[in-house]
Structure 1
Amino acid sequence: MKKLLLGLVSLFCSFYASAQNEILTNQAIIDMLELGFTEDIIVTKISTSKCDFNTEIDALKSLKEKGVNSNIIVSMIKAAKSIQENEEYANDAVSGIFIKEGEKMVRIHPTIFSGTKTNTLGSALSYGIADAKIKSTMLGTTSNNIVNTTLPEFYFLFERNRNNISLSDWWFSVATSPNQFALVKLETKGKRRELETGKVNIYAGTSVGVNEENIIKFRITEINDYEYKVVPESPLKPGGEYCFFYQGSIPQGGYNNQAVFDFSISKTCKRSNAYPVGSYVFVFIENKIKKCLIKDVNVENGEIYYTGETSTFKKAKWRESSCSLDKEELKATILGQIDDVQCRVIKKYNNGMTICISKELTPDQIKKAKDAFSLKGKIMFNLEGAEGKGEAYAGIDDGFIIIYKSNEFIKL
């Protein structure tokens, strides 16, 4: 009995392996027809199998003579055409980052850095304790790649043949996923755009990488092994400058990472709201979390505001940054109060966070907040209403409270 069972298992495995490697040919279709399989079964088999059909005129004539009907022959021709198109696409497939504009796909070409600079003022004023930022610069106040929506759809296409690495487009032969790129907000200074790519500290040395505060999260949808759709998690700012920056390993042999895939959001495009009218969201209002119905959306000073009503039909107005579909997610952002000043987290990084406050904290109150909330790493304080602009009025870094508008350093 045991030998019989093993024999059946072996036979099934052999059959399964054979089925997995099976390729339909013209002769296979004729054989199925002679065995009495109906048209719908044969057509289904064609659509679900690997095929290698000969659809030249003489081959089609032979199929007709053997009794293969027109519907089956049409399915065979379509399968052969699909295989041919896939092979041509694989051979001719382009790689890079593309933006979808309507039905058209537009390539985003890389822009090379024009130079680098190091800001040593903050380091000098703090006697070398604060970091000196390394910034890579690009010529021009705007990119040549103009995007006309605040929630753009990007498509990352990676090389199918990874044996050939070109000097001009090597990113997409080495990388395998958009996760190896960072979407970063650029700063505009004078007639150029800047990207922080590292920092120097006389005690800690040099570190390389973009500033996490300027990184924008995005959602990835896998289309196939080589193509991905990328969409920012939240709307980008009209008139803003952005880029995709590669953060993976760099191959040896003359390759460098001195370029980014930059783009500008048109100043005239209307900012897209993350939540549609008629939906319910949880909102931080009057120091409480309330469920609200969105009835209208407006843009004020570049910020999205919603108007609606609470579950008790009370009218309310709130910023997009103050709401979420997830109540627990919103609750987790609330730190508490310092002398009646509400503090909540609006962004977290590996080495710190950005905190939104209802009014400015004094240096003594900042010290109290650090102890009360056990704040560690680099902390940025944004006033409510300025959180979407990414502008902090104060911060904690390397053992100092920094008041940015007066460039004042206060030791903790």
Structure 2
Amino acid sequence: MSIRKLVVALCASATLLSGTAKAAPLTLEQITALAQSGVGDEAVVAKIKSTGTHMDLSVEQMLELKKKGLTGPILAALLDSPATAPTAQQFSLTSPDPAVLHPAGVYLLDAGKGHMVRIDPTTTNQAKTGGIFGYALTGGLASASIKASIQNASARVHAAERTPTFYFFFDESNPQVGNAPSSWASGTAATVTSPSEFTLIKLITKDGRREARVGSMNIAGAKTGVMDKDRVAFDYQMVRPGVYKIQPKAELAPGEYGFLFSLNGMGNGGALSARIFDFSI
């Protein structure tokens, strides 16, 4: 082996063994040097995969590389190895750029500070009824309401603007990462793919908690779902696959709000399974 090839092989081997070296796709010269150095097929294949090295080799190139000592497993790794998937370090929780990878979830854009704030979902922990006395007293002429109750009097995330901007990052925004951190990983959120599956609602603050009206009933019948007067209209547009920009259609009055999942079943059962991405103005 020439001195030049030995140096290349030693450098490549050092990179292979180093846990701190920055992984970069290999060149054909480096791969050939590794194969000829005797480090073994398993080590060369592992290095190809860890660096995401991929080459669309022609038949002629494969035959030539075979003559230079590249074995079948090494050639197969070169042809099959996908591009390296993003690592956890490549995700951002605060970047204001929606083109940057973010763990799936709901984010508020804080334009004043130039970053995004991730909103963790709040699960409703109680379902209750209101107006029962009036309902009973009037023989059902007055309505009784069903409410989903959320702990704490105010959300942890505060929007400084009256027309805040939000970004929804769905799992589709990170197609290369099958196990990326996600806010959609449990409950009724498992298959959420669009902002159209959410309702923006105005929450009622009462006795140190917040409530959302999710049903009503009177002598004429019963209704389930968020009450019309509690709904807040919003627009959304796709920024890139799996990423949407959301804004209310009008300025929001000071108070408590939240993006609520479309509830199935509603009533007490639906209220208890609701997940709300809450914020305050």
TM-score by length of 1: 0.39
Residue 203 (structure 1) shift: 4.9
Q: 1:56 to 1:163 in 2, by over 3 A?
A: closer
Is 1:180 matched up with 2:197?
A: yes
d(CA) in 2 for partners of 1:174 and 1:158? 10
SS in 2 for 1:223: strand
Residue among 132, 138, 144 paired with 2:156: 144
- After superposition, residues 253-402 of structure 1 pair within 5 angstroms as 257-265=273-281
Is 1:99 matched up with 2:108?
A: yes
Residue 171 (structure 1) shift: 5.0
Q: 1:167 to 1:57 in 2, by over 3 A?
A: closer
SS in 2 for 1:128: coil
Residue 158 (structure 1) shift: 1.2
Residue 56 (structure 1) shift: 2.7
Residue among 84, 109, 119 paired with 2:120: 109
SS in 2 for 1:213: helix
- The aligned residue for residue 153 of structure 1 is 165
SS in 2 for 1:147: coil
d(CA) in 2 for partners of 1:139 and 1:248? 19
Rg larger for? 1
Q: CA RMSD in A?
A: 3.6
Residue 59 (structure 1) shift: 5.6
Report if aligned partners of 1:180, 1:248 keep a CA contact under 8 Å in 2.
no
Report if aligned partners of 1:96, 1:169 keep a CA contact under 8 Å in 2.
no
Could you give the per-residue CA deviations for residues 130-152 of structure 1, whole angstroms, max 9, x where no partner exists? Answer: 32100111222211112211111
d(CA) in 1 for partners of 2:171 and 2:187? 9
Letter in 2 for 1:245: L
- The aligned length equals 186
Residue 57 (structure 1) shift: 3.9
- The aligned residue for residue 225 of structure 2 is 209
Report if aligned partners of 2:168, 2:244 keep a CA contact under 8 Å in 1.
yes
Residue 249 (structure 1) shift: 5.0
Runs of 4 or more off by more than 6 Å in structure 1? Answer: 89-92, 161-167
Report if aligned partners of 2:189, 2:261 keep a CA contact under 8 Å in 1.
no
Residue 225 (structure 1) shift: 2.4
Q: 1:89 to 1:228 in 2, by over 3 A?
A: farther
Which range moves more in the overlay, 161-170 or 184-193?
Answer: 161-170
Higher RCO (CA < 8 A, seq sep 6+): 2
d(CA) in 1 for partners of 2:169 and 2:134? 41
Residue among 214, 217, 226 paired with 1:200: 217
Letter in 2 for 1:98: Y
Letter in 2 for 1:104: H
Letter in 2 for 1:207: K
